[in-house]
Amino acid sequence: MFDEMLTEQSDEVRAPYRTLMSWLGEQDLKKLSKESALAEELFRGVGITFNVYGDKDGEERLIPFDLIPRILALNEWRRLEKGIIQRVAAINAFLKDVYNGQEIIKAGVIPADLIYKNRAFLPQMCNFIPPGDVYTHVLGVDIVRTGVNEFFVLEDNARVPSGVSYMLENRSTMRHMFPELFTTHNIKSISGYPKDLFNSLSSCAPNDISDPNIVVLTPGIFNSAYYEHSFLADEMGVELVQGSDLEICDGRVMIRTTAGTEIVDVIYRRIDDEFLDPMSFDPDSLLGTPGLFDAYRNGAVILANAPGTGIADDKAIYSYIPDIIKFYTGEKALLDNIPTWRCAEAKNLRYVLDHLNELVVKEVHGSGGYGMLIGPAASKRELAAFAKKLKTNPGKYVAQPTLALSTVPVLTKSGLSPRHVDLRPFVLVSPDGIKVTPGGLTRVALKKGSLVVNSSQGGGTKDTWVLGK
Amino acid sequence: MLGRHGNNLFWMARYLERSENTARRIQAVLNHALSREDGGREEWAAILVNGGFKTTFDKKFENNSPTNVINFLLRDRDNLNSVMSLMSAARQNGRSVRTCLTREVWLSLNESWIACETVLKRPVNIHDLPTILDGIKKGSSLFRGALYGTMLHNDIFNFLCLGTYIERVDNTIRTIDEKYHRLLPTAKVIGGNEDQGQWEVMLRSLAAWRSFNWLKKGRLDPSGVADFLIFDERMPRSINFCYRQLKSNLDNLSNIYGRVYESSKIASEIVDGLNNNRSKNIHKINLKDFIGDHIAKNHELSLKVAIDFNLN
């Protein structure tokens, strides 16, 4: 098991953590652990809360925040950054291709059925290219680590990735609580993210408008990520709208304001494809705006991200990403995928069933850590039940080996203790290029030994530092 | 600004003002009750009638003991106008317009709400009441301070002020309406000490007890109280003060948006009407009609504001 702070011998502190460790040595850890309460108060005061779907009390909860930062050295980060940029460029090229020429299918790299029969594939997007060829204006790449130089991409989030407000709030909380650490460390700044997002969205505006009207579209205050929606609108200085605030007039998208109506040029939408427009997608949706998709296809407005990007982050497509990178860039993927067995294929299904107690099995369309099986942690009965589900509907599942995720210490009542982590760096794509904010959101499984980092299942977060020279 | 956001701002301000007014009213009655042998039963009952709470209250409680009334007014979730319900509604509106508020304004609102959730979690007894009421008022002051000190004084600010003053003047008008008979010139002769106690409750619940005494050197008479609560343009809860603020905020919006609004005209008419009446002898005004008229006018103004600015 790889710990990011201590070397295998467990007595030596790895270089990026040395200054932090000597600071920790001077602290009273008991007192520090009590100060976590202060962090919690800060988060609750600001209202950085999320709602858990299906929780009948509808109570707002905090994502636990751990005070010990996760630290990456500059060379480690540079490697990740390069790999992410390559991957994201390929994903955008892939999206343009599957919705237009379908060269990758013609070349036999990806089976046609996997695209056309995939419910993440949106036929409404065919024969249309968004301005600047940008499909995923915002993207989050989930990365896990298993050794000094071993990084793997766990999944891509190409639809409406969330978590960036936690990355930013975690940083400002750390600065508030431990300003002294920022004088002894040279930490890459992330505070430019909202400005970068604004500029990135602006540069995608239709018809070369130099000063576009950008809005953030939210499903509303009961959405689990509402805080983030309001945070980003606030930080960018743009309106936070709901579907009902928008209307289509003469092909243009308008918002109703206190002074009349205004034209909207760019919509950073934080609602899923199917809820965007009841005329083009889910007719029962009350969240959307009738006619929005037509306005989009006619070039009156930008939707960021483009509809239909789910075909690129689908768990069945995931296993093809190395081939996708090779196909569009001619290069070998710089970041590895986790080996994945597609259960739809009979040979794979047999292997998966034979090794179920060693594997993690996920639903192709699942998210949030729901509906998955962690073989080594499952009981015999759970394994049997899951095997049955697999046999009935193998196409619904993919399997991966259980990785020994790296650990980073967290602060517990009895001192420091290692916990498993992952990392979600955030990527902005515009016609001017691809930009990755240094670090990202570190999610940590707070339960000892647990590998599930999702906030809906007891995960927490940490501030993530990339050290400069 | 979105019309929906204008609406959220307007109502957020109204709910906050209403919760503060409720706290002040309870405090005034408590103060009155503690100095009386009968425990001020009549005053506790009067809050229920005046606020239109009677039906909801009677469904839940057998008697209007002070403890029942206090808990109903402060923390009852079935009472949409309890302080807790109002704070939750204000916060919910605030969350919807998070992008219109500075961090400090939002923090003060959210922290007040958290504080209310904490202290009003369990039934309140009279021992804790003064501390709780002070807490509510303090939260209100903090919010107002953050509002004036950190927000741009633009249309967002104007909508917040419109909500505040429409709610505030409504409260003042209704407070006078409830006790108008005690403000008639003849009241002094009829009532004596009983009336004095009532005037004190009225002034205290409008945060005007000290300023009234200071200005009038302690001369407490019904016409003086009526004149002060209706016309005094220095007193932040007088009818005249509130309408001047409403007019000025509506004028600002006209300037910002470059249009003349119906609501702006109505506010001007009300202010002019007040000036006309003021020049008369207060004894010549038919208080009952005057107050009834203003309840209607205020309601009309509130509706017009919503129409004029797409508040939906």
| pLDDT given at position B20 | 96
The domain A339-402 is classified under which CATH number: 3.30.1490.270, 3.40.50.300, 1.10.3720.10, 3.30.365.10?
3.30.1490.270
- Helix, coil or strand: residue A337: strand
d(CA A56, CA B181): 50
**Residues linked to residue A363 through DSSP beta bridges, in sequence order:** A397
For chain B, the straight-line distance linking the first and the last C-alpha, in angstroms and rounded, comes to 12
**Residues linked to residue A266 through DSSP beta bridges, in sequence order:** A214, A302
Dihedral angle at the C-alpha atoms of B25, B27, B30, B34, nearest 10 degrees? -140
Check if A192-304 and A339-402 are the same fold.
Answer: no
Q: pLDDT per residue over B242-280, tens digit each?
A: 999 999 999 999 999 999 999 999 999 999 999 999 888
Q: Which residue in B103, B114, B309 is closest to A258 by CB distance?
A: B309
DSSP structure class, residue A118 = -
Average pLDDT over residues B276-290: 86
Please state which CATH class domain A192-304 belongs to.
Answer: alpha beta
Residue bearing tokens 């597609």: A342
Q: Provide, rounded to the nearest whole percent, the portion of chain B with pLDDT above 70.
A: 97
pTM for the predicted model, two decimal places: 0.88
Full DSSP string of B88-101: HHHHHHHHHTGGGS
Q: Would you call the peptide bond into A186 cis, given omega within 30 degrees of 0 as the criterion?
A: no
Tell me how close the Cα of B110 comes to any Cα of chain A, in angstroms.
6
Chain B contact set for A47 (CB, 8 A): 95, 98, 106, 110
Chain A residues near any Cβ of chain B (below 8 Å): 44-47, 220-221, 226-227, 230-231, 233-234, 238-242, 244-245, 255-260
Torsion angles phi and psi, residue B287, rounded to 5: -60, -40
**Residues linked to residue B255 through DSSP beta bridges, in sequence order:** none
A256, A258, A268, best to mutate vs chain B, most B CBs in 10 Å:
A258
> Given the DSSP bridges, would you call strands A65-72 and A459-466 parallel, antiparallel or unpaired?
parallel
DSSP H helices in A178-275: 179-184, 193-202, 226-236
The number of residues making up chain B comes to 312
Radius of gyration of chain B, Cα coordinates, nearest whole angstrom: 19
**Residues linked to residue A465 through DSSP beta bridges, in sequence order:** A71
d(CA A218, CA B99): 12
Torsion angles phi and psi, residue A9, rounded to 5: -70, -10
With 60 as the cut, is the pLDDT of residue A111 above it? Answer: yes
**Residues linked to residue A400 through DSSP beta bridges, in sequence order:** A360
d(CA B261, CA B229): 28
What residue ranges do the domains of chain B occupy? 1-151, 153-312
Q: Which residue in A44, A234, A260 is closest to B99 by CB distance?
A: A234
d(CA B156, CA A258): 10
With 90 as the cut, is the pLDDT of residue B207 above it? Answer: yes
Distance of CA B35 to the CA centre of its chain: 25
| pLDDT given at position A53 | 60
Residue bearing tokens 């977060």: A461
What residue ranges do the domains of chain A occupy? 192-304, 339-402
Write down the ipTM of this complex: 0.79
Q: pLDDT per residue over B221-236, tens digit each?
A: 888 899 999 999 999 9
With 80 as the cut, is the pLDDT of residue B184 above it? Answer: no
